[in-house]
């Protein structure tokens, strides 16, 4: 949370604290003359040396919020709000909607002008809700909804309402009389959330966020003898009272790690490519390409792709993230 500051020498420095001009300063003739002289240098390109552009700051570090430097139109495939999921007011309550597209006028031209400062972003967007209703919202309202409903790391959370049902896929281990295996693979719970949405959540994630509710559901549905539950539910019963004392009062929160700042986070490269294809963007593909370009010098490959003698093949995976400033996608 630092500020980029342009100096008279044309360099960009970072400072964690800045002091705005006071009302008295704004009325001071000398101060205003210095400010106008500095801005004249900036606009005229007469600084002492070329400005060094840092990769993590906007392309225009000189005057990022100047309407004169903003393109009148930015293609939707480069719009960071498209496909974001955010809680917005509708019909007297807040519901989770998905940003569908930028709103256009009768001539087909996009409404509003993009700006990296949400307060100055005048674009309008169509947001679709679970019931199919499409409502228009200003970019400022969407940004406010995103940043007001996440924690310091950008993760949103939703409150558990109830566990509706369970489902099992072919990868699950069923009761075959063999020794107990400590795995919940293949088991999912159909969960209803306080925001009105319903989703399928793996049991391993429900155990981490709502352990007691998950165990109670298994007991009530007579699933405690299934291999996915038999290795932990019975043990939890006799520890229940001790655990309840440690649990904070009130509803526990299920951390929705699948999204950050309303942007869907992929769990694999293939899922990242699928999200790009589904949303008509290339954010994740470019993030992957940038990361691979940076790390590829650390690896050595044989021409025939064989594993060298004395080496062992190991698997690896990418971690995907979204930065707060500009909702930049990272891999």
322 pLDDT tier (thresholds 50, 70, 90): very high
The reported pLDDT for the residue numbered 58 is 44
Q: pLDDT-based confidence at 298, cuts 50/70/90?
A: confident
Question: pLDDT band at residue 71, thresholds of 50, 70 and 90?
Answer: very low
81 against 250, higher pLDDT: 81
CA distance 227 to 51: 63
Q: Where residue 37 falls among pLDDT bands split at 50, 70, 90?
A: confident
Quote the pLDDT of residue 136.
Answer: 92
pTM of the predicted structure, to 2 decimals: 0.48
pLDDT at residue 275, as a whole number? 93
Q: In which residue ranges of the chain is CATH 2.30.30.140 found?
A: 76-148
Question: Beta-strand (E) ranges in the chain?
Answer: 3-6, 12-15, 85-90, 93-102, 124-128, 134-138, 155-168, 187-193, 198-202, 253-260, 263-264, 321-322, 329-330
Q: 272-284 burial, b if ≥16 CB within 10 A, otherwise e?
A: beebbeebebebb
pLDDT bin (cut points 50, 70, 90) of residue 231 is confident
| pLDDT reported for residue 49 | 57
pLDDT score of 158: 72
Q: What is the rounded CA–CA span in Å between residue 119 and residue 229? A: 50
Does residue 89 register a pLDDT over 70? yes
Q: Provide the CATH topology of domain 76-148.
A: SH3 type barrels. (2.30.30)
Q: Which residue has the higher pLDDT, 28 or 125?
A: 125
- Residue 209 confidence class, pLDDT cut points 50, 70, 90: confident
For 153, half-sphere exposure in the C-beta direction (CA atoms, 13 angstrom radius) is 7
Confidence of residue 62 (pLDDT cuts 50, 70, 90): very low
């Amino acid at each position: 949370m630092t500020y980029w500051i342009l100096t008279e020498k044309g360099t960009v420095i970072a400072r964690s604290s800045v002091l705005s001009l006071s009302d008295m300063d704004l009325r001071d003739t000398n101060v205003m003359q210095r400010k106008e002289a500095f801005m004249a240098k900036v606009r005229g390109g007469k600084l002492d040396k070329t400005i060094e552009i840092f990769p993590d700051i906007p392309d225009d570090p000189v005057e990022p919020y100047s309407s004169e430097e903003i393109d009148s139109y930015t293609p939707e495939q480069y719009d960071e709000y498209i496909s974001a999921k955010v809680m917005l007011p509708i019909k007297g309550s807040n519901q989770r909607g998905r940003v569908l597209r930028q709103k256009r006028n009768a001539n087909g031209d996009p409404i509003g002008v993009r700006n990296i400062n949400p307060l100055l972003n005048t674009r309008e967007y169509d947001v679709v809700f679970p019931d199919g209703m499409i409502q228009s919202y200003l970019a400022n309202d969407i940004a406010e909804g995103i940043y007001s409903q996440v924690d310091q790391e950008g993760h949103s959370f939703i409150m558990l309402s109830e566990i509706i049902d369970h489902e099992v896929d072919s990868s699950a281990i069923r009761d075959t009389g063999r020794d107990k295996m400590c795995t919940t693979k293949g088991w999912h719970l159909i969960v209803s959330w306080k925001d009105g949405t319903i989703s399928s959540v793996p049991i391993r994630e429900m155990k981490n966020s709502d352990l007691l509710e998950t165990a109670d559901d298994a007991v009530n549905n007579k699933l405690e003898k299934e291999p996915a539950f038999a290795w932990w539910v019975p043990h939890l019963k006799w520890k229940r009272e001790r655990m309840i004392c440690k649990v904070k009062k009130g509803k526990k929160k299920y951390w929705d790690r699948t999204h950050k700042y309303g942007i869907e986070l992929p769990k694999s490269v293939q899922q990242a490519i699928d999200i790009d294809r589904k949303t008509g963007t290339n954010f994740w593909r470019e993030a992957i390409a940038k990361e691979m370009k940076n790390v590829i010098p650390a690896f050595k490959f044989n021409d025939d792709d064989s594993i060298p003698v004395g080496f062992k093949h190991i698997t690896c995976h990418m971690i995907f993230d979204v930065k707060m400033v500009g909702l930049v996608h990272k891999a």
